[in-house]
Structure 1
Amino acid sequence: MKKYFKSNRKEFIIYLIAATITSLLTAGMGFLYSGLTSTALGDDFQKFILMAIFAVIYLLFDAYFDYVPRATKSVLVNSVMNSMRMDLTTHYLKKDLYSLNQEDPSVRTNRLVNDLDVIENEYLRPILSIIQTSFLFIFSLMGAFYLQGMLTIIMLVICFVPFLAPLINQKILSSNKKDYQEAKKSYLGVFESFSRNISTVVITNSQKVFNRMLGKSSQDMKDSNDEFKKQESKTIAISYGLSNIVYSGTWIIGGVFVFNKQLTVPGLIAMTILMNTVAGPIQYLSELVTDLSSSKEVVKDYFDTIKDDPIDRGKKINSFSEEIIKLDLDNVNYSVKGKELFDKLNCEFDKNKKYAIKGESGAGKSTLLQILMGIIRPDKGSVKVNGLNLQEVNSYDYYDHIAYVPQKTAIFPASIAENVTMFGPVDAEKVKICLEKAGLSKLISGFEAGIETKLTAETKLSGGEERRLDIARALYRDANVLIFDEPTSGLDSINENLISEAIGKIENKIIIVVTHSNSKEFLGNFDQILKLENGKLNI
């Protein structure tokens, strides 16, 4: 967390100044009421009126500075949380695809939605509150010692009793909180699965089944939260009860000091207020420690997540900037759930050649493409790019040279141009040329805004148009290697011919296409048609 306070130094310093002034004003309330009491008991009415006017002005300042630290704390918290969200996003953007592929997407959503919420409200805010509360405790304690040192020591010992409750329950609270977060994550995963596949659920008339699954998951989350809140409430209740004893004790023990002429009545009033601002912070600190204790595991998990992944430590990672002229599969073995998919698979893919890969469903065609892109790592053997082992090449340098057209096109709610450039710099002329090569020139001319047309529900593209937009996206990147996964799947013959024509026009690249198509016109674009069967690639 120190890193985030340093990166938001200005906001942190402003908050510290505001918290310091506020704490001084609050601690000074004891002396203010002591002064009012002294002048009220005296004979000088004019002095009392002046003291009363000063008290009103003081209270106005105190009210204003009750607002200032709240506002500055919110600014600081929002700045820190923005930094943390950006770090989490950067972590996932930099993480290698192989590792990302091993993680359920719901885990990432849970970290962003749930874990960061816990960090903000049960870790970061309590830390900042502890800072202000500590200032108030120190200033109030200094004032109390100034008035009556022995009484302060006695009350201080009693005051620390409420602080023990959350420390005793720290492990229980931390464990309960982690259980609740796990239950919440599980529910989110079930709901995401249901939401993503809701059409299938409805069509197969499986609503009751999913309703039961969601109900059970929701009940588990409720039970976990009930248990956590129960333990938390016990801790706070114990602290509250002990703190009430402290408040009463100040009057009782302080009364003894007044009786023995060791403290005046105005001094007792001041001491009572000061000890309340000592005991109050201690009680509040115990509640804050409860929050910190319960959120500790979540915070640790988050910071462990955003650390640099040690997966490739010890391996030499080479930067890569040259043009890709050759991709090789070198004795690649790969198994899924104990079933061997590829057995010493070998193949060469060269520049300025087009390769079609055919095979039965389940033969591993899409898996093969993922191995070529480094999303999946082979059990044995390697993928070589210009003779270098792909696992020893910086993956993001490698991705600069390849373009991938998946079975399902990713369409973003933005302009056609932004979808083609993936929100990078827009060269309007180049965008139009790429769209034309992909067979979308007629579509664009049909929109009044042209390439600036926003893709929405009203301007939704057809399946064939989406696939050709993906081709335009690949062409715009001017990548050395273009990889297509079933580009004509589910399309009619007209769209298949348009895509065939677009692929046929691409030159001086390595083109690798997985396809089920038997169209002679489509297959006529390729230099080699490879058959994937029995874990081998055959011509």
Structure 2
Amino acid sequence: MLKNYVRFLIKYLCRFKLMLLGILLLSVLSSAINLLIPYTSSLLFDSGIIPGNISIIIKISIVMALLSIIKFIVKYYGQVAHAQLSVKFTTSIKKDMYSHLLRLPMKYFDKNHKGYLLSRIDEVDALSVLFSSAIFDFFAAMVTATGAFVYILNKSWMLLIISFVFLPFFYFLTRASLNRIHITSREIYEVNATTKGKLQESIEGIQELKQLNNEEKTFKELTNQVNRIARKIIQQSKFAAMGTEGVSLLLNISQIIITLTIGLLIVRNRLSIGDYVALTQYILLLYAPVQLIAAFSMTIQPGLVALDRVSSILQVDIEENETGIKIDAIRSVEFKDVSFKYEESENKIFQKINFIVEKNENVAIQGINGSGKTTIIKILLGLYRDYEGDIEINGINLKEINISSLRESVGIVSQNVILFSGTLLENIKMSNPNISELHLENLMDIFQDKMFKDIDPYSLVLNEKANNLSGGQKQKVAILRAFAKNPDLLIFDEATSNLDLASKAFLEEAIKKFFNNKICIIITHEEEISRIADRILEIVDGVIIEKKYDKVISGGRS
């Protein structure tokens, strides 16, 4: 697991090599200053204070003051650099997370609640602890500890041995605390993600929640989750306190014993007062890495857990076949013995269905709810790729086609219309950002006269989920958005249920006019819309049958 952590971190840190190098150089400079300060303190006593040499006292004091100022400057810029690296590191991962999530297959979203996934993205912020100043302070402390080791060994090997006797106790105490903190951190993240998912679900369905008079029950469920998180956090704090305070206790005991030993050596004239001043500081420097690693290892645990959870998402395979064959138009769609079932289901939605739709053809697909009508469209768009059989676009296997180029050629209007915050015009242009102003104006003029008499598409600003539009208005916007794309394949998935008769009649004429030489697939229960179809396919018990032509209401393409 540690190797995976390191590989993941190196991948991102390589993007900031110069900044990282600068921080390391500042750490080395800080270490050198830390090593000089105890030595100058020793000189101050042995060469200045004890002999009574005022000139030496003043000179060394000035040197110590300058060292302190330089140390302040180095530490300041080091802290700023740490903060910049931390922000850039987490921002870089967040961008990759956004990009990766948007390209994950639909089955991943089927398994995970939206709120849960949003919480997982928020966990990226916890990675900032991995690049707090503590980790670079530890690097600097290791350098100073090496210098302190040499100095103490030169003065008294006995003191060095006493200092090292306590190290195994530090290790085992820290290790025990870390294991417990790691476990509770993982539990906290998981419960928090689940709670956020539940909360988002409740807010999105607040109207239904109120209609069912279910607010109190939902509140109790959320309260139980929040209380569970609180208990885990308190438990984690206890483990962290035991670790950090236990380390402090061991340090205090070791310093008392070391001070006693130094005192005895001074009495026996084996060390000077200056040595005492320097040694007590160098021993603190020797122990500094132990203190830092103990404190940092405990604070880093949530970051390591977040690192594991974040990297696990980034390792999920994305759906797009970016290296596939790009298509410039859709001239035919053919399903050959296609069978499919959702991952969580035991039964197939449909099995060995066969049909072909070609250019200059309207086809309606009918069937009872749950028969798989919408699933056919999802598979056709490459949202699910684990189907059996073959799907061919222009005679090319769908799995060999570049999905992005396929979707560029498809316009779809769903029953559950999704519109985004912003102007109505911005929503329309989302399907085709490069649409010419002339083409857009022509479409708007045609649609506004027939379908948008009650709203101004040029000035209207949509709120969240476009709640300031009716269901019928939303469907009209979605239809116009699909027309603005000018696709080779236009799909209506129960997309006219909220339209009035006049709007449906206009839509029929618009399809005939704008898509006369293209492909149109209509999923519907409504006879008014079915009458523009050249053929009607019906899904019955998981297979497709074609209705006899005389059952199609007159009015298909001429």
- Work out whether the TM-score is over 0.5: yes
Q: Deviations over 1:3-45 (max 9, x none)?
A: 1111112322222223222333333332243344342333222
Distance 1:65 1:108 in 2: 40
**Counterpart position of 2:59:** 50
Deviates more, 1:21-30 or 1:68-77: 21-30
**Counterpart position of 2:142:** 137
Q: CA deviation at 1:342?
A: 1.7
Q: 1:84 is matched with which residue: 80, 84, 93?
A: 93
**Counterpart position of 2:532:** 525
1:20-59 alignment runs, 5 A limit: 20-38=28-46, 39-59=48-68
Matched, 1:274 2:282: yes
- How many pairs were matched up? 529
Q: CA deviation at 1:513?
A: 1.9
Distance 1:253 1:153 in 2: 11
Where 1:511 maps in the other structure, the secondary structure is strand
CA distance 1:425–1:275, change in 2 (3 Å): farther
CA distance 1:204–1:437, change in 2 (3 Å): same
Distance 2:38 2:346 in 1: 75
CA distance 1:297–1:325, change in 2 (3 Å): same
Distance 1:145 1:528 in 2: 90
Q: 1:380 is matched with which residue: 353, 375, 388?
A: 388
**Counterpart position of 1:331:** 337
Where 2:327 maps in the other structure, the secondary structure is coil
Q: CA deviation at 1:385?
A: 1.8
Q: In structure 2, what residue type is equivalent to 1:331?
A: D
Q: In structure 1, what residue type is equivalent to 2:249?
A: G
CA distance 1:237–1:441, change in 2 (3 Å): farther
Q: CA deviation at 1:417?
A: 4.2
**Counterpart position of 2:261:** 253
Where 2:349 maps in the other structure, the secondary structure is strand
In structure 2, the gaps of 5 or more residues are 1-8, 548-558
Distance 2:447 2:264 in 1: 93
Q: In structure 1, what residue type is equivalent to 2:186?
A: K
Deviates more, 1:295-304 or 1:266-275: 295-304
**Counterpart position of 2:10:** 2
Deviates more, 1:420-429 or 1:468-477: 420-429
Q: In structure 2, what residue type is equivalent to 1:397?
A: S
Q: CA deviation at 1:142?
A: 0.6
Q: Deviations over 1:173-202 (max 9, x none)?
A: 322222222211221221122122111101
8 Å CA contact retained: 2:42, 2:274: yes
**Counterpart position of 1:465:** 473
Matched, 1:363 2:371: yes
Distance 2:278 2:449 in 1: 81
Matched, 1:428 2:434: no
1:77-476 alignment runs, 5 A limit: 77-113=86-122, 115-121=123-129, 124-125=130-131, 129-146=134-151, 148=155, 150=157, 153-158=160-165, 160=167, 161-293=169-301, 295-307=303-315, 309=317, 318-335=324-341, 337-377=345-385, 379-422=387-430, 424-425=433-434, 427-436=436-445, 438-439=447-448, 451=458, 454-456=461-463, 460-476=468-484
Distance 2:449 2:418 in 1: 17
Q: CA deviation at 1:460?
A: 4.2
**Counterpart position of 1:491:** 499
8 Å CA contact retained: 1:401, 1:480: yes
Q: In structure 2, what residue type is equivalent to 1:380?
A: E
TM-score, length-scaled by structure 2: 0.85
Where 1:349 maps in the other structure, the secondary structure is strand
Q: Deviations over 1:217-247 (max 9, x none)?
A: 2222223333333223222222221122233
CA distance 1:310–1:191, change in 2 (3 Å): closer
Q: In structure 1, what residue type is equivalent to 2:325?
A: S
CA distance 1:303–1:341, change in 2 (3 Å): closer
Q: CA deviation at 1:68?
A: 1.7
Distance 2:444 2:271 in 1: 88
Where 1:338 maps in the other structure, the secondary structure is coil
Distance 1:47 1:317 in 2: 75
Identity of aligned residues (%): 19
Distance 2:443 2:159 in 1: 80
Q: Deviations over 1:76-119 (max 9, x none)?
A: 00011111011111212333344444443234212201x31332
Aligned CA RMSD, in angstroms, stands at 3.1
Q: 2:541 is matched with which residue: 519, 528, 534?
A: 534
Distance 1:132 1:350 in 2: 68
Distance 2:479 2:378 in 1: 18
8 Å CA contact retained: 2:378, 2:384: yes
Deviates more, 1:178-187 or 1:140-149: 140-149
Q: Deviations over 1:286-345 (max 9, x none)?
A: 122234455444423322321362989xx9973232422111222223346334432322
Where 1:381 maps in the other structure, the secondary structure is strand
Distance 1:471 1:439 in 2: 12
In structure 1, the gaps of 5 or more residues are none
Q: CA deviation at 1:402?
A: 1.8
Matched, 1:66 2:75: yes
Q: In structure 2, what residue type is equivalent to 1:42?
A: P
8 Å CA contact retained: 1:159, 1:279: no
Distance 2:384 2:254 in 1: 63
CA distance 1:8–1:426, change in 2 (3 Å): farther
8 Å CA contact retained: 1:101, 1:375: no
Q: In structure 2, what residue type is equivalent to 1:142?
A: G
**Counterpart position of 2:23:** 15
Distance 2:156 2:438 in 1: 81
CA distance 1:378–1:530, change in 2 (3 Å): farther
CA distance 1:36–1:435, change in 2 (3 Å): farther
CA distance 1:272–1:380, change in 2 (3 Å): same
Q: CA deviation at 1:451?
A: 4.5
Distance 1:358 1:92 in 2: 33
